Amino acid sequence: MAQKSLAELYGRHLQEVMARADRALIAGGYQGLIMCSGSQVYYYLDDSTYPFRPNPRYRAWLPDTSPDCFVVYRPGRRPKLVFTQPDDYWYLPPERPEGYWVGHFDLEIVRSPAELRKAAGRVRWAVLGEPGPATEGLGDYDPPAVTGPLDYSRAIKSPYEIECMALATVAGVRAHRAAEQAFRAGGSEYDIHLAYCRAAGAREEELPYNNIIGFDRHAAVLHYQVLDRERPAGVKSFLIDAGAQHAGYACDITRTYSAEPGDFQELVRAVDAAQQKLAARVLPGVDYRDIHLEAHRSIAGILVAHGIVSCTPEAAVETGLTSVFFPHGIGHLLGLMVHDASGFAAAPDGGTREKPAGHPYLRLTRDLEPGFAVTIEPGIYFIDSLLEAARADGRGRAIDWKRVEALRPFGGIRIEDNVVAQPGAPRNLTREAFAAAN
Ligand code: GLY
Ligand code: MN
Ligand code: MN
90 pLDDT higher than 60: yes
Taking residues 310-325, what's their average pLDDT?
98
Of the bound ligands, which one is closest to the alpha carbon of residue 334? 2
Centre of ligand 1 to C-alpha 239, Å, is 12
Any atom of ligand 1 within 6 Å of the Cβ of 190 = no
- Identify whether the C-beta of residue 18 lies closer than 8 Å to the C-beta of residue 33: no
Centre of ligand 3 to C-alpha 26, Å, is 37
Helix, coil or strand: residue 263:
helix
% of the chain exceeding 90 in pLDDT: 98
Q: Which of 221, 374, 375, 414 to mutate to test the pocket of ligand 1 (most atoms within 8 A of CB)?
A: 375
Q: Buried (b) or exposed (e) across 387-412, using 16+ Cβ within 10 A? A: beebeeeebbebbeeebbebbbebbb
204 pLDDT higher than 50: yes
Phi, psi of 229 (to 5 degrees): -80, -25
87 pLDDT higher than 70: yes
Q: Which of 361, 416, 419 to mutate to test the pocket of ligand 1 (most atoms within 8 A of CB)?
A: 416
Q: Which of 252, 253, 417 to mutate to test the pocket of ligand 1 (most atoms within 8 A of CB)?
A: 252
How far are the Cα atoms of 36, 148, 152, 303, 312 from residue 145, in angstroms, in the given order? Answer: 18, 6, 11, 46, 48
405 pLDDT higher than 90: yes
Whole-number average pLDDT of the chain:
97
Any atom of ligand 1 within 6 Å of the Cβ of 163 = no
Q: Which residues are bridge partners to 256 per DSSP?
A: 239
Secondary structure letter of residue 397 according to DSSP: G
Amino acid sitting at position 211: N
Taking residues 87-95, what's their average pLDDT?
95
Residues 6+ apart with CB under 8 A from 83: 64, 66, 69, 94, 96, 97, 107, 108, 109, 110
Any atom of ligand 1 within 6 Å of the Cβ of 241 = yes
Q: What torsion do the CA atoms of 11, 12, 18, 21 make, to the nearest 10 degrees?
A: -140
Convert the pLDDT of each residue in 406-435 to its tens digit: 999 999 999 999 999 999 999 999 999 999
196 pLDDT higher than 50: yes
Phi, psi of 147 (to 5 degrees): -65, -35
Helix, coil or strand: residue 427:
strand
Predicted local confidence at residue 27, as pLDDT: 93
Amino acid sitting at position 33: L
Nearest CA to ligand 1 atom 3: 252
Any atom of ligand 1 within 6 Å of the Cβ of 189 = no
Cα 151 from Cα 345, distance rounded (Å): 9
Centre of ligand 1 to C-alpha 64, Å, is 24
- Identify whether the C-beta of residue 245 lies closer than 8 Å to the C-beta of residue 200: no
Burial label for 286, CB within 10 Å (0-12, 13-18, 19+), is middle
Nearest CA to ligand 1 atom 4: 252
Phi, psi of 239 (to 5 degrees): -115, 130
Convert the pLDDT of each residue in 215-250 to its tens digit: 999 999 999 999 999 999 999 999 999 999 999 999
- Identify whether the C-beta of residue 414 lies closer than 8 Å to the C-beta of residue 238: no
Any atom of ligand 1 within 6 Å of the Cβ of 222 = no
User: What angle is formed at CA 360 by the lines to CA 356 and CA 366, rounded to 5 degrees?
Assistant: 50
Any atom of ligand 1 within 6 Å of the Cβ of 252 = yes
Of the bound ligands, which one is closest to the alpha carbon of residue 223? 1
How far are the Cα atoms of 279, 289, 343, 358, 364 from residue 354, in angstroms, in the given order? Answer: 22, 9, 10, 11, 9
93 pLDDT higher than 70: yes
Nearest to 356 by CA among 293, 272, 416: 293
Secondary structure letter of residue 123 according to DSSP: S
Q: How many residues can be counted in the chain?
A: 438
Q: Which comes out higher in pLDDT, residue 126 or 121?
A: 126
Confidence of residue 2 (pLDDT cuts 50, 70, 90): very low
Secondary structure letter of residue 103 according to DSSP: G
Convert the pLDDT of each residue in 145-169 to its tens digit: 999 999 999 999 999 999 999 999 9
Any atom of ligand 1 within 6 Å of the Cβ of 417 = no
Centre of ligand 2 to C-alpha 166, Å, is 16
3 pLDDT higher than 60: no
Helix, coil or strand: residue 413:
strand
How far are the Cα atoms of 46, 149, 255, 275, 423 from residue 21, in angstroms, in the given order? Answer: 38, 9, 38, 37, 26
- Identify whether the C-beta of residue 82 lies closer than 8 Å to the C-beta of residue 111: no
Confidence of residue 119 (pLDDT cuts 50, 70, 90): confident
Predicted local confidence at residue 1, as pLDDT: 43
Convert the pLDDT of each residue in 262-307 to its tens digit: 999 999 999 999 999 999 999 999 999 999 999 999 999 999 999 9
Centre of ligand 1 to C-alpha 130, Å, is 26
Overall pTM surpassing 0.85 (yes/no): yes
How far are the Cα atoms of 99, 133, 158, 199, 316 from residue 170, in angstroms, in the given order? Answer: 21, 40, 19, 11, 38
197 pLDDT higher than 60: yes
- Identify whether the C-beta of residue 332 lies closer than 8 Å to the C-beta of residue 340: yes
Convert the pLDDT of each residue in 52-62 to its tens digit: 999 999 999 99
Confidence of residue 4 (pLDDT cuts 50, 70, 90): low
